[in-house]
Every structure is written in structure tokens, then in C-alpha cells.
């Protein structure tokens, strides 16, 4: 949990949230069950899934850069 309090840990958490929600949006059964709400906690997942699908190139490049930073930079 201490890594969440640093900026790079927060960025890793955000990228993982966006990537996971975008992946779950592609599964039809989970899409109707989890990502149909647009308010509350599930609304955050819905918005993260929309960001992940619309900006998939930028999100994937960010994930690659963050992986290199975590593996080499730290």
C-alpha cells in the first residue's frame, strides 16, 4: 500500500484501472453486468472503460513507458 501514496504508484494504479475496465468492457456478459451503471463506483469503471477504448493507442504507449520506468528506472 505505500506505493499508492507516491505519484508513480498512483499512475500505475490508474493505468491498470483503465486497462482492466477496457478489457472487461469487451466481455459481453460482464459489460452488461458491471459496466452498465454510469453513477457511483461502477460509474468510475464505466468512464475508465470508455477512456481505455477511445484512447487505446495512448493508453498502451503509456503502459509501455510506465513498465520501462518501473523495471529500469526504479
Q: What is the distance between the alpha carbons of residues 26 and 24, in angstroms, rounded to a whole number? A: 5
Q: Is the pLDDT of residue 73 over 90?
A: no
Q: What is the mean pLDDT of residues 21-41?
A: 79
Longest Cα–Cα distance of the chain, Å, equals 40
More confident residue, 34 or 23: 23
Q: What is the distance between the alpha carbons of residues 25 and 45, in angstroms, rounded to a whole number? A: 9
Q: What is the distance between the alpha carbons of residues 38 and 46, in angstroms, rounded to a whole number? A: 6
Q: Where are the domains of the chain?
A: 4-73
Residue 68: how many CB atoms within 10 A of its CB?
10
Amino acid at each position: 500500500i505505500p506505493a499508492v501514496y507516491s505519484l508513480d504508484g498512483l499512475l500505475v494504479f490508474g493505468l491498470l484501472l483503465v486497462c482492466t475496465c477496457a478489457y472487461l468492457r469487451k466481455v459481453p456478459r460482464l459489460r452488461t453486468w458491471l459496466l452498465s451503471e454510469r453513477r457511483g463506483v461502477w460509474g468510475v469503471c464505466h468512464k475508465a472503460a470508455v477512456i481505455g477504448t477511445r484512447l487505446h493507442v495512448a493508453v498502451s504507449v503509456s503502459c509501455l513507458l510506465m513498465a520501462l520506468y518501473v523495471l529500469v528506472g526504479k
